[in-house]
Amino acid sequence: MLRVTADSNVYVSALNFGGVPRAVVGLAAEGTFDLYASAHIFSEVSRVLIEKLGWPDARLEAALETLRLFVRTLRPQLSLAGICQDPDDHRILECALEADAHLIVSGDSDLRLLGNFHGIRILSPRQFLDSRPWETEHLQR
């Protein structure tokens, strides 16, 4: 099964705006691939939805409960630094490594500049949908 880590901006966009990020998250909800996150990713999603987009607590909690039904939450054991300009991007990479992910889906252009990290490809939500990696029989890095 394809293992994917999504950046917090994918969740924020999916929950607040819809479009391509919602399609990515929707495919995970359908069981098309396994989606992984960490407490840090969910914390960042919560912060942005409340502080920047004004979501009320009840709406946020309902959305997070729904995500937790199909997003596999893990606790990365590795701590990275010095790879990305934004320290929060390291948390995405840590989660992907812990999940042994095949792909990272991110709307963050700085993170996508890496192209791949330890064999984990980094794609935009649109690139992810267009390439349909869940249809690949033999997943390779």
pLDDT (tens digit per residue) in 6-43: 999 999 999 999 999 999 999 999 999 999 999 999 99
For the chain, give the mean pLDDT.
Answer: 94
C-alpha 85/C-alpha 110 separation (Å) is 8
- Nearest CA to 101 out of 85, 122, 83, 84 is that of 122
Residue ranges per structural domain of the chain? 3-134
pTM over 0.85: yes
pLDDT digits 0-9 by tens, 88-133: 899 999 999 999 999 999 999 989 999 999 999 999 999 999 999 9
pLDDT at position 138 over 70:
no
Most distant pair of Cα atoms in the chain: their distance: 43
Helix, strand and coil content of the chain, in percent to the nearest 5, comes to: 50, 15, 35
Residue 69 and residue 109: Cα distance in Å, rounded? Answer: 29
- If DSSP codes are grouped into helix, strand and coil, which group holds residue 88? helix
Query: Homologous superfamily of 3-134 in CATH?
Result: 5'-nuclease (3.40.50.1010)
Closest by CA to 92, choosing from 62, 123, 54, 61, is 123
| pLDDT at site 137 | 54
Q: What is the pLDDT of residues 46-74, one digit of tens each?
A: 999 999 999 999 999 999 999 999 999 99
The encoded tokens of residue 78 equal 């590795």
